[in-house]
Amino acid sequence: MNILDTILGAQGGGAAAEAGQAVGLSQEQTGAALSALVPALASGLQRNASLPGGLDSLLGALTGGEHARYVDDPSALQTPEAVSDGNAILGHILGNKDASRAVASQAAAQTGLGEDVLKKLLPMAATLVMASLSKQHVGAGAAAAQAPDSGIMAMLTPMLDSNRDGSIVDDVLGQAGKLFGGR
């Protein structure tokens, strides 16, 4: 199961619904928004994990961050702490606010939803990504979570191989180019 499916199915859809309600989106709009936002976040995570020490850093954050609480208790997504956690996660995944704005803008173009709403949803989407990965990491164990054919990387990879050619390199480079101005 990929990360988007995990998020949309968490707590019977309750986690995604809670995030959508927080910014005034219907269930259908929330699904569309997350379908546009989560791949960009997954791409950033994949890119960061491929850097020297990046996977260890990600696994450390998943182990010590208590992120799973946002999936276990979706109402926690509407707290100021969740937004703060989400913004910190975005800083690590995307690097800066300009990249976050670019992700929201691209998602707005894809979905027809307002960019301002997507900017508000983005930190909650980031917390849901980390929460889902955290649950996967804890459930699989650290060694299994690092394996390329299971665990965290298995959740991220299907989403990133958009042309289904078996390689995510071309897809990640294409997404990164769009994200950082190459559109």
Instruction: Give 42-65 pLDDT, tens digit per residue.
Output: 888 888 888 888 777 777 777 776
pLDDT of residue 167: 47
> Predicted confidence band at 139 (pLDDT cuts at 50, 70, 90)?
low
Domain ranges of the chain: 3-179
Side chain identity, residue 50: S
pLDDT of residue 27: 93
pLDDT of residue 65: 66
8 A C-beta contact, residue 108 and residue 114: yes
pLDDT of residue 156: 57
CA distances from 88 to 114, 138, 145, 156 (A): 23, 21, 23, 20
> Predicted confidence band at 120 (pLDDT cuts at 50, 70, 90)?
very high
In whole angstroms, give the CA distance from residue 46 to residue 31. 22
- Residue 95: CB atoms within 10 Å: 15
Averaged pLDDT score across all residues of the chain:
79
> Predicted confidence band at 163 (pLDDT cuts at 50, 70, 90)?
low
